[in-house]
Structure 1
Amino acid sequence: MTRSQVPWRAELEFSDFAAQEDEDLDLLTGALLIARDARPSLSWQSVEKTLDDLARPLVTLADARLSDQAEALALELSERFGLSGNHEDYHDPDNSFIDQVLTRRVGIPISLSLVYVEVAQRAGLQASGVGFPGHFLVRLDGADDEHLILDPFSGGRVLDLRDLEQMLDRVGWPRRVLEQGLLDPSPLRLILARMLTNLRSVYLKRGELPRLLVVLDRLLALIPDSKEALRDRGILNAELGAPEAARADLHEYLRRWPDADDSDVVRRVLGRLGKPDQRSLN
């Protein structure tokens, strides 16, 4: 759905949602609002029911050993329900939408992790998302600061230190960051922003610019200080023939970051846009 096709109510609801304090945000609500941009008729109740049904067999595990919780979660979601990573079409936008992940039972690391976290929490387990570099993960917490890291994209496999170090090696990050809170639970706002950032890359690669514009709107609602999103939206508006919107974003970008490395590029785009139509200022 393009921005012009997004009902005004959806715009209002996402803006209201994003304006909440961090502690008031709900991960599933945010994910459903993102999914609704692509599929306005999606059934929230159906998604909630599926998650509740998946959690029901796990409710007896709240006091079980952490390793047993992890094993049961992977068994229920990856083996019985059939959740798996979409290796064949990783960049399909449907991989990012919670309703489609539950329907098609394939997704990418962050969307599969969302399902794991939502199901685990419904079952009374202490689960959270971990924004690991290049590959989103799930953290299960138990008593006495014990925790396990799971990879839903790999069938819910429990990762050890060597696995995590190798994952860092693959993305060029130093191993020492593991000691700097890298495995701490990610703030919900940043999880949703990461979901939108994935969609931004997907729509850019596919050349779906109107959909990309909606994603940038959402990103800026969540993270108003996102320098890249503001710049990209301004440039995209210029490409889509919306010069007034482009000028507003790009002038704001230069006002806030006048010495940015790409400020000359932004000024050139503004120069190509020319002067505002005086009729639009009356």
Structure 2
Amino acid sequence: MSKSNRREIESLIYLLEDPDPEVQTGVKQRFQELGEHAVPLLDQFRAESVKDSEKETINNIIYNITAGTVIEEFAEIIESGVHDRKQLEGALFTLCKFGNPTLRVREYKKKLDNLTAQIGSDIAYTPSINEKMQILLQYIFRDLRFRGDSSDYHNTDNAYLDRVIDRRKGLPIMLSCVVMFIARRLDLPFYGVNMPIHFMLMYQTHNQEVLIDPFDGGTIVTYNQCCYFLKKNGIEPKPEHLEKADESEILVRCIRNLIHSYAKIKDERRVDDLRKLLNMAELEG
């Protein structure tokens, strides 16, 4: 980037504080014209900003510049297929760019690698398949303190994998994904269960299927308890409600959660863009 471009971007960022709506509109339009060349410096200013309102404004400008590229990236992932936990992990990290457009995916995959490394030897030296399950659940929900966010359930942070990893709290489906992605690195058979209202985990071995509630600290539950929960919430239980979910189904549900959260805060731009992703995912699924 040339020095003149850098100076212009610095000036434009300074003008973001101007209360005149016409100035604001002009600044945002100019950023669109500058395109992705402006993103690294915008990202730097966002990181250095002390005001939450300024961070949010810069984040939205970056989003408006990068959204088209992210949608294209997501389309390529869908075209390649989302059929296993590794592919699902890649898709969900791309989805995170709707909340953090400059997300460094490699850093977050490294975070999952590091979390896995801390427990790897304990898992490897335990011969019992059931004990392996218990060790991993205790590690994630007791030692690392991943938990459900019941106080601010619909916060978008609870629906983004990167934010859940950083904050150690989130929706049931995202907590399940953290377990699944660490389990994948350890060759442990944890999978998702696309139960209505409340996503669940399954530990599936050659002779048993154990249901686990990720929102309740990794508590093991019975099929009868799940059926009771569904009936209490006006849903007639069906066998498919408690079966292992396809990764494509999990991805669709993650996108729906984000649409719901952004609709609550009336962020129509992201809702519209996420609906495009939903249509892609549902067509391929």
TM-score by length of 1: 0.72
The C-alpha deviation readout for 1:251-276, integer Å capped at 9, x for no partner, is xxxxxxxxxxxxxxxxxxxxxxxxxx
Post-superposition Cα deviations, 1:216-271, rounded to whole Å, max 9, x if no partner, equal 11111212389xxxxxxxxxxxxxxxxxxxxxxxxxxxxxxxxxxxxxxxxxxxxx
What SS does the corresponding residue of 1:210 show, helix, strand or coil? helix
Q: Is the 8 A contact 1:203 1:212 kept in 2?
A: yes
Q: Does 1:72 pair with 2:135?
A: yes
In the alignment, the residues of structure 1 paired with residue 188 and residue 165 of structure 2 have an alpha-carbon distance, to the nearest angstrom, of 20
Larger helix fraction of residues: 2
CA distance in 1, matches of 2:179, 2:130: 15
Q: Please state if 1:212 is matched with 2:212.
A: no
Q: Residue type matched to 1:28 in 2?
A: E
- Does residue 231 of structure 2 align to residue 169 of structure 1? yes
Secondary structure, in 3 states, of the residue corresponding to 2:201?
A: strand
TM-superposed deviation, 1:22: 4.5
**Corresponding residue pairs, total:** 222
Is 1:83 aligned to residue 122 of structure 2?
no
Which AA in structure 2 matches 1:187? Answer: D
Paired position in structure 1 for 2:74: 14
1:264 aligned partner: none
Note the 1:155-194 alignment, pairs <5 A.
Answer: 155-175=217-237, 177=238, 180-194=239-253
Provide Cα deviations, 1:93-118, integer angstroms capped at 9, x if missing partner.
Answer: 01111110011111010110100100
Distance in 2 between the 1:122 and 1:140 partners? 15
Change (3 A) 1:34 1:143: same
- CA-CA distance at 1:58 after TM superposition: 3.8
Equivalent residues of 2:263, 2:271 under 8 A apart: yes
Aligned residue for 2:188?
A: 125
Aligned to 1:233: none
Check whether the contact 2:193–2:202 (CA below 8 A) recurs between aligned residues.
Answer: yes
2:104 to 24, 43, 58: 43
Are positions 1:53 and 2:53 aligned together? no
CA-CA distance at 1:20 after TM superposition: 2.2
How far apart in 1 are the matches of 2:274 and 2:112? Answer: 25
The letter for the 2-side match of 1:163 is Q
Contact 1:59 1:123 in 2 (8 A): no
Residue type of the partner of 1:216?
R
Give the Cα separation in 2 of the matches to 1:217 and 1:6: 15
User: Which residue is equivalent to 1:101?
Assistant: 164
CA distance in 2, matches of 1:182, 1:129: 11
Instruction: Give the AA of the match of 1:36.
Output: K
What is residue 256 of structure 2 aligned with on the other side? 197
SS of the residue 1:129 aligns to: strand
Distance 1:121 1:204 in 2: 33
Give 1:55's aligned amino acid.
Answer: T
- The worse-fitting range, judged by mean Cα deviation, of 33-42 and 98-107 is 33-42
Q: Would you say the 8 A contact 1:86–1:106 is kept in 2? A: yes
Structure 1 unaligned regions, length at least 5: 227-282
Give 2:148's aligned amino acid: G
Cα distance, 1:33 vs. partner?
A: 0.9
Name the counterpart of 1:280: none
SS of residue matched to 1:23:
coil
Amino acid at match of 1:91: H
- Deviation for aligned residue 1:150: 1.1
Q: Distance in 2 between matches of 1:6 and 1:213?
A: 15
Contact 1:128–1:186 (Cα < 8 Å) also in 2 = yes
Kept in 2: contact 1:193–1:223 (CA 8 A): yes
